[in-house]
Amino acid sequence: MNENPTPIRVLFVCLGNICRSPMAEGIFRKLVEEQGVENHFDIDSAGTGDWHLGESIDPRARQILSEYDADYEHTARQVTTRDCECYDYLLVMDAANERALRALCPVSLHDKIYRVMEPIDNSEVPDPYYGAGMQGFEQVYRMLNQSLQRWLERWLEDTNT
């Protein structure tokens, strides 16, 4: 693999940027670190809404990430039009996030928007924030981990061809 590649810029997007997208960011950071390819990726997350701006990750999401050694420092932020331009991949958690990004991003950039679960079944990642309990956060972790492993494999294959 090229030692000084242009990094693949990946933005994970959910509603408030305190549960699903920061979980995806933490999982993906761990996966690239395990593969020793941190310099091949620029990773961030954001929310389509502004309810949690400046907040840390939800304590339940942090607990799950900690259990899997994927915790990191996080401050919630809202996705911007500039993100649409700067990132190569905008990976959304569900149809509502996809619609919000399609409304925000210029049509010429819509080809950057994917559902994070696309490599598995293109399903939606359920929002565990309300009432799902720790089992909901665990389910989200497992879903994201499985799909993000596939995304990473795909991107690493693409950079080797």
Active site residue 19: no
Active site residue 88: no
Name the more confident of 29 and 5. Answer: 29
Residue 161 has what pLDDT?
47
Between helix 133-160 and helix 59-67 the angle, nearest 10°, is 60
Active site residue 60: no
Q: What are phi and psi of 75, to 5 degrees?
A: -130, 125
Rounded CA gap, 68 and 71, in Å?
8
121-137 average pLDDT score:
91
Domains (ranges, CATH) in the chain?
8-160 (3.40.50.2300)
71-85 average pLDDT score:
96
Which one is catalytic: 14, 19, 84, 105?
A: 14
| pLDDT above 90 coverage of the chain, percent | 90
31-44 average pLDDT score:
96
Which one is catalytic: 19, 20, 29, 115?
A: 20
Which one is catalytic: 44, 71, 83, 127?
A: 127
Candidate from 27-31, 77-81, 90-94, 130-134 with smallest mean pLDDT: 130-134
Q: pLDDT-based confidence at 17, cuts 50/70/90?
A: very high
